[in-house]
Amino acid sequence: MTPDNNDPLKMVHELAARVQHLEDTIEIQQLQSKYVHYLFKQRFDRIVDECFAKKVPDVSVEFSDSGVYRGLDSVRAVYRSFEVTKTMPGFFILHMTVNPVIEIAKDGLSARSHWLSPGAAGSDTSAAWIWGPFYIDYVKEDGRWRIAHSNLVPLFRNRYETSWAQATEHGTVRGVLSAQPDEPSTFYKPYNEVKKQRDIFAAHPPLPQPY
């Protein structure tokens, strides 16, 4: 036992920093869960208010072939354009996010993460599987964690009737959304193209490292 272990004030400050790190990890996990629940339940109005950063100028969201929605106005616009899905009979998007690798910055104010996502979507006339990785950065704003950048890059988006290997097209999110993206997709490609390649994850980012 080192001498420091007898200085309660110093120990309690060190312990407080470790507890803060644990709380940050759990809060980020709960924030991410909140996001997927709101998306599933079509509470689109809550998503930007409660889940996204307000003070990050290049805040962004991207999913499948959506392109990048950049800046708070664009992020608000894309979730507002999802409202139309409430009028579609039986419509749902069920993205779950599991197996987080979360790396919180040494200053405790930002974090980088990778998740894996099993998922399904549907309506009265269509059913599809949507599975793949999710890359998300977070920031702490006014003491609360928020999403700064979110990118869902599904590996496959095949209709139920045909497997990911057999499907000749893997769908698009462009048809349903009236909001226009600010930038093209960063590296998403449909599996019917990807499957012709080798080492298919070469373009994906490496796991977040300490920073």
Residues in 9-28 at the binding interface with a copy of itself, rule: CB under 8 A: 9, 11-13, 15-16, 18-19, 22-23, 25-26
**Beta-ladder partners of 26:** none
Q: What kind and span of H or E run contains 149?
A: strand 144-152
The one-letter amino acid code at 63 reads F
Least separation in angstroms between CB 179 and a copy of itself? 20
Strands 60-63 and 144-152: parallel
Q: Does 89 bind a copy of itself (CB under 8 A)?
A: yes
Q: What are phi and psi of 134, to 5 degrees?
A: -130, 125
41 touches a copy of itself (CB under 8 A): yes
Segment lying near a copy of itself (by CB under 8 A), choices 58-66, 72-80, 179-187, 194-202: 194-202
Cα-based distances in Å from 172 to 100, 116, 141, 159 = 26, 20, 33, 11
Q: Can residue 189 be called a binding residue for a copy of itself (CB under 8 A)?
A: no
- In contact, 126 and 34? CB cutoff 8 Å: no
- Residues numbered 46-85 forming contacts with a copy of itself, rule: CB under 8 A: none
Among the residue ranges 59-67, 69-77, 92-100, 104-112, the one whose residues contact a copy of itself (CB under 8 A): 92-100
The binder of a copy of itself chosen from 45, 80, 81, 92 (CB under 8 A): 92
Closest to a copy of itself by CB, 69 vs 134, is: 134
Of 67-75, 153-161, 168-176, 181-189, the segment contacting a copy of itself by CB under 8 A is: 153-161
Nearer to a copy of itself, 58 or 83 (CB): 83
Q: What angle do CA 183, 189, 194 make, to 5 degrees?
A: 160
> 208 with 114: CB under 8 angstroms?
yes
Q: Among residues 49, 98, 187, 211, which is the contact residue for a copy of itself, using CB under 8 A?
A: 98
156 in Cβ contact with 191 (< 8 Å): yes
